[in-house]
Structures are given as C-alpha cells and as structure tokens.
Amino acid sequence: MLSTSNLSLQFGKQVLFSNVNIKFVNNSCYGVIGANGSGKSTFLKILTSEISPSSGEVVAEKNKRISFLKQDHFEYDDISLIKTVLMGHKDLFELMEAKDAIYAKPDFSEEDGIKVSEMEKTFQEMDGWSAESNARETLSGLGIKEDYHDLLMKDVDHDIKVKVLLAQAIFGNPDILILDEPTNNLDIKTITWLEDFLLNFRNLVIVVSHNRNFLDTICTNIVDIDFNKIKLYTGNYSFWHQSSQLLIKQRKMSNKKAEDKIKELQDFIDRFSANASKSRQATSRKKLLSKINIEDMEASSRRYPAIIFDQERDSGDQILSVDNLSYENENGDVFFKNLNFTVNKGDKIFITSENKLAVTALLNILNNNLQQTEGSFRYGQTIKASYMPNDHNDFFTKESSIIDWLADYSEDKDDVYIRSFLGKMLFSGEDVFKKVNVLSGGEKVRCMLSRMMLIKGNLLFFDNPTDHLDLESIQALNDGLVNFKGTVLFTSHDYLFTDTISNRIIEIGPDFCYDKLMTYQEFVDFKKNKV
C-alpha cells in the first residue's frame, strides 16, 4: 500500500496540486491522466521520493520495494544489457557484487568463508540463483534477442535501450511498480506483452500513459490531475471518459429530472460492467464497477480540441498507385522491395513494419522528401495531399508567432480566419503570439494539426501523429479521422487509434508485402494464425 496525506506542490506562485489524499492498494493498477503540463510525471517523482512536495507526505509500507521506470537512456552506456536489468533489484545486485568480490580475493580467509556463506543464504532467499535467467527471459519477452543480452548499452539503438530500462523496472517482482509512459517507442507486439505481464502482476502498479487501449486493458482505477486537484475514480479510462461525457451532457440538460439522470447513469454502469466481463481485466473491474456510488461521480472540466478535417474538393476515383517501389539506405539495408499497391478512394490504410524506419521512409518517399532506390508512384489529378511527419522540428526553426506561422500556409491571411483553426486546437487569446521555436512537443503537434486542417487535403498522411499528445487530443484526432470522408495513410503505436480508423492494413518488409482489406484486430488474428 502507498498513500498521500495532504500532499501539495507549488513552484513560486504556480500551484500544481494541493491537499491530495489518495490511498493506493495492492493488486490494483492506477492510471494517472492529465493534460500536458498538469504534473503527472512530477506526481510520480514525489511518490518515489525523487523530489519533495511543498507540504504533506507520502507514506509507504515498511520493507516494500519501489521500482520506477527511468527515462535516462544514457545512464548505463558502459554496462551490459543483462547487468542493467539486474541492477533494477538494488539489494540483490549489491549482494551479488559483494559476494563475487569476496570470492575473487586472492587471500580468501576462513572469516571470508563464514561471511560469504551467510550471504549465500540470503542470496538464495532472494531467489538469486534464478535472477540472471529471469532477467534474460524478461529481455527476450520484450523482443530483445539473446545475442544482444551481453552487449553494452551504448552499442544498441534507442529502441532497445527503452526496452532494457522497462525490463529493469519490472525485474524482481517489486512491491510497488511505478511507470512513466512505458509504451513510448514500443511496437504493438511489445505493448501486448507488457499488458499481459501487468495483468498477471499481483502487486501495486501506478502508471502514466497516453495509450488509451493500454489504460483500458490494465487499469482498475483512474487518477485524474485536473485544475490543481487530483481525484481518484473507479474503472478504466473508457469508463472514466464515457461517464464524464454523460455527466456533462446531463449537466447541460438542466430540466432533466433527477431520477431520470440517476437511471441513465445506472444503465450506463450496468452496460459497462457487462462489457468488462469480456475483457482481460474482467474480474476486478466488474467487481469495482458494481460498488460505484452514483452520487460520487463527477463530470470532468477537461477541454477537448475540435479536430475536423474538411476537403477543399472531393477526390476522383484515382488516388495513388505505387509500382515496384524499393528503398535501400546508404548502408545497403533493404527497407522494402518491389512494393505494388493501389490506394482506393476512402481507404484508411494502416502501414506497418517490424522496422519502423521503413514506414517512415515510405511515407517520406510518397511525399517527395526522400528519393526511392527503384520504382515509381503517381497521384490522381484531383489529389491534394497533406503530410504530418513524425519528425517535424524543421517546421519550427523560425522565431515566428504561432498565428504568423500558420498564416504562411494559408491563402487567406485574415486574423479571424487563422485564429479559428488555432482556436479549435485550444490556442486562444495571447497564446497565438507564442514563438513556435519554444513550443512543447504537444503544442507543436497541435500546430501541425491546425496546419493539416487549414490545407484541407483529400489525401492525408500521418507518421505516428499521437506522439506527444494528451489523451483529450488523441481522442479528438481519433474521432476526426474516423469522420473524415477522404483517404488516409498512417502509422501508429496506438492500438485503439489504429483499430478504430483503419479498414485496410499494409505490412512491408525487405522481401514481402501483406495487403489486407480488414480491421487491425483481424490482421493481428491473421498474423497469429499464420505463425
């Protein structure tokens, strides 16, 4: 168990949150949500004693081990992958090091023998003899091949480092596991592995994530940081979001009778409980939902962007044809070879690959930002394409204000017209005069989405558009693309985003291409059966 008592945090005049009293109990998973800058990561650092609160305290049970997912990808550069994972259990690792140091002494004495025998007993009680094999099993489960396990961290790429640090956090069955954006840079296969691990994890989990499906799968409770308050809700993210939207709707209908409101809420809870019985987290979630007191439910004060993609003109039937397209990088690595496919009007195509660089390369080629090695592609005459790359820093190098930056992409320079697109993405008032070169990652993505809406293309390309976005913006973008009448090609690590938008899946590799007219879940099932 972990709890907070009258917890407050203030930086100068800015209050992030105050008087927080929350009890986190074992065998539960708490998803921490909140807008960008609300203090989610800071809250986790307070729970792990990495930073101190302005007032109040964090109380943890004695002799309980807390493990925290670290984000410093260079801290362990001179250490092997397997050793980095073992360091996740500090007490066990230090015992291993001390024991090995005694055995290595050239003048090993009888006293050393007695000491090391006592250490061996403790080591056995800590399941030390299985530690390395368990660590290697965790690395393999996260998709890291055995050939890599003994390499130094500095000799592997960024994606592998991310997985190693995750393995370090979950290693050794910690009593309290705290994770800050654990799904960042993970492919959907690895995310599914992590979901299964956490569903079988019987201790306490507290996690910050922008991945809605991940939160829905693993969470029994939601911790919402909003307007300087931290509130605890029963259920997963979808339950919190849908119940909150229902309450907002009811609040607007002031003439609706109280008993009608209560019945509507109860019907909603009953429906959600029935759906929960089909989920991987069924038992605990359904039990919790059945105990909800309707009077305790509150509407969220969150603001959602309005992401609406209009077309300047409807496209003809000819959208995009790809003929024998190949790409090989400067090192001779083949990303894909002899790709052939035709994009049809209204397609919403999810493009995937085991090598995510291959998808980025394909999208860049189709948008004339990279030269293919062989082959060609051609657009229909009515096509107006718009592309949102994953790396968009080159768009924000000038010291322009947001409103001037967006005006550069518009034929209509009228301030009111430009502000209308920025307002939809929650840039209002003086916000529009902020310099684009100092914006946060989330603010830059919202600017890019404003640009996409303003261009009004009928063929949209997205390379992992949900990176850096908060949950409200992800939901709005998801809805915007579901409702878009044009054609979309995209890639994403977000399962729910992918499954609700796509009607066609294209998987590319160095020597193959799968092209399937199906939902993403159907494609996942197809791949499982194929294996």
10 has which bridge partners? 15
Residue 388: domain span: 320-530
Three-class SS state of 265: helix
What CATH number is given to the structural domain containing 271?
A: 3.40.50.300
| Within a domain: 315 | no
Name, in order, each residue with C-beta under 8 angstroms of 169's C-beta and a sequence gap of 6 or more. Answer: 67, 68, 69, 70, 88, 177, 179, 182
Same domain, 291 and 324: no
362 and 446 in one domain?
Answer: yes
Whether 71 is covered by a domain: the verdict is no
Do residues 154 and 180 share a domain?
A: no
Spatial distance between the Cα atoms of 464 and 490, rounded to a whole number of angstroms: 7
Task: Kindly tell me the burial class for residue 186, based on how many C-beta atoms sit within 10 Å of its own C-beta (0-12, 13-18, 19 or more).
Answer: buried
Distances (CA, A) of 413 to 306, 422, 426: 21, 13, 20
Question: Do both 373 and 495 map to the same domain?
Answer: yes
Whether residues 286 and 419 fall in one domain: no
Same-domain check for residues 224 and 191: yes
pLDDT (0 to 100) of residue 477: 96
| pLDDT tens profile 364-420 | 999 999 999 999 999 999 999 999 999 998 999 888 999 999 999 999 999 999 999
| Domain-embedded: residue 310 | no
Classify residue 308: in a domain, yes or no. Answer: no
Q: How high is the pLDDT of residue 275?
A: 61
Q: Give the CA count within 13 Å in the CB-facing half-sphere of 69.
A: 23
Distance linking the first and last C-alpha atoms of the chain: 41
Residues 367 and 487 in one domain: yes
Look up residue 228 and give its DSSP letter: T
pLDDT of res. 293: 63
Token pair 């910690």: residue: 174
**CA–CA–CA angle 180, 163, 354 (5° rounding):** 120
As a dihedral over the C-alpha atoms of residue 451, residue 455, residue 460, residue 464, rounded to 10 degrees, the angle is: -10
What is the domain count for the chain?
3
3-state secondary structure of 322: strand
The pTM of this model reads 0.80
Q: Is residue 113 part of a domain?
A: yes
Rounded to whole angstroms, the Cα distance separating 443 from 435 reads: 11
Among residues 514, 527, 477, which one has the least CA distance to residue 340? 514
Q: Is 53 among the domain residues?
A: yes
* Residue 476 φ/ψ region, left for φ over 0, alpha for ψ in the -120 to 50 degree band, beta for the rest: alpha
Please report whether residue 311 resides in a domain.
Answer: no
Residue showing tokens 């010291």: 399
Residues 6+ apart with CB under 8 A from 70: 165, 168, 169
Tokens standing for 15? 């209050």
**Residue 516, phi-psi category: left (phi > 0), alpha (psi -120 to 50), beta (remainder):** beta
Does residue 34 sit in helix, strand or coil?
Answer: strand
* Structural contact between residues 322 and 490, judged by C-beta atoms closer than 8 angstroms: no
Considering the domain architecture, whether residues 351 and 288 belong to the same structural domain is answered as: no
From 166, 200, 219, give the residue that closes a domain.
166
Residues 347 and 407 in one domain: yes
Tokens of 221: 């409770």
Q: Residue 90 forms beta bridges with which residues? A: none
One domain for residues 113 and 190: no
Q: Please give the share of the chain, as a percent, with pLDDT higher than 70.
A: 90
Which portions of the chain are predicted below pLDDT 70? 252, 254-262, 264-266, 268-301, 530-531
